[in-house]
Amino acid sequence: MSNKMQYMRVGSSGLKVSKTIVGCMTYGDKNWQPWVLTQEEAFPILKHAYDSGINTFDVADVYSNERSEEILGAFLKEYKIPRNKVVIMTKVFHFVDPARGAADAAG
């Protein structure tokens, strides 16, 4: 079995994504859900994934009220990983906590 990460190109864009993707819903603030991992717990996992060749990460504003996105950004900054070396996939679904600065349905 090969330990070499496999990648796919997205259409004709030239964007190269790892076939294995890290879902970041688990990272955030335990006030959101008790099973969530804190930034300190997430960093070693993210580092191992990146060092293993995974370059694609999935986040969403609804994951821990945007905290998962912040943790991924802090990880990239902490380890000085250039933004052009990773693919960050995101989406929007539910309203997030207005106390965290996000707009509600009324705008």
pLDDT tens by residue, 50-101: 999 999 999 988 888 889 999 999 999 999 999 999 999 988 766 666 665 4
* Residue of 82, 73, 87, 90 whose CA lies nearest to 9: 87
Where do the H-state alpha helices sit in the chain? 39-51, 67-78
Q: Look up the pTM and report it.
A: 0.81
Catalytic residues: 63
